[in-house]
Amino acid sequence: MSEREAKPILPSQRLLQAQEFAPRLLDPRVVELGKFVATRMSPRPQFFDPMVFVMTAAFCIEDFRRGEDGFTHKPIDSALSKQPDYVYDYLYLNISNLARIAFSEALADQFRSHVANLLAASGLEEDDWVLSPITTLEQAQTDIIDNAKKKVLSLDWAHFGLLEKKEEIGRLYDVFSGLILKNAGMNFPLNILQQDHSQEASIPEILFLKEKRTVAGGYNLAMLKDRIDIEEATFTRDWLFLEAPKSVATMYNLSPENVVEYFSDNDKSFSKAALRAHYYLTSLKQ
């Protein structure tokens, strides 16, 4: 083996070629963020640190938000400059995934922990995020299903005269959550990782990635090899949060359209979830 072949590839070089080292197809906007982060990284491996990387990526995202390079104070010529806030929400979700490209997978949990702390320090509500990969049914139930239920119950149902019905709405949600995901082609959580071949639960091409639909065998969770990425988990949670109120409205003879319009106009968490879910679906088309 030549000296050139034996020389390790630096994390910054891996980010400059992010798509080549990514386990799956990346959103081009995430690739662009990775390249920008690479320009800020030290060329000396001994200075690579999870928190430093996370903060560097966060500063880069804020530079895009302002449209100005924080070092040169010159405008950034990029399609990522001065975009709506939900674009940067999505990029924050991808900091840990960029770290998995740049560094060894063994460091992934450290990066995710630092991202969680960074978001909290920025004043972002913890329940707006799913910050860990999903590996078990129990974790999916807690991080996605229960999290969405909490958000649904926190909506202003008093506006529709349902303030005393929250316990009942919670029970309805328990029934609706499975139906909502089934109707969206998600035999949750298994077909995020395993393709469901039954006619009544065909998976739309746009939902999740083919690489994730690997056969796990008999719905045995112990055989699942991959994690549900944080974007996928967040999208699934947001989808439930956005769709459940429509079902609740129907059960109480309300207009689903009016209910969604009211929450979209008056609840920041609901409107952000809608934008984030839309951006996620858009990113799969890139």
pLDDT value of position 248: 95
- The H-or-E segment that residue 240 falls in is helix 230-251
- The H-or-E segment that residue 59 falls in is helix 50-66
Pairwise CA distance, residues 163 & 282, whole Å: 36
Secondary structure of residue 134 in the 3-state scheme:
strand
* Residue ranges in 79-165 assigned as alpha helix (H): 85-93, 95-102, 108-121, 137-140, 147-153
Domain ranges of the chain: 3-124, 137-285
In order along its 286 residues, the chain shows pLDDT tens digits of: 454 555 677 888 888 888 787 766 677 888 899 999 998 887 665 556 777 888 889 899 999 999 999 888 999 989 899 988 888 888 887 887 788 888 876 666 677 777 777 777 766 665 566 656 677 767 778 888 899 999 999 999 999 999 999 999 999 999 888 888 777 766 565 554 444 444 433 333 334 444 444 333 333 333 334 567 777 788 888 999 999 999 999 999 999 999 999 999 999 889 888 988 888 777 766 5
Helix axes 95-102, 28-38, angle to 10 degrees: 60
Kindly report the pTM of this predicted structure.
0.71
Within 8 A by CB and 6+ apart from 65, the residues are 82, 83, 85, 88
Q: Residue 203: name the closest of 188, 189, 191, 220 by CA.
A: 191
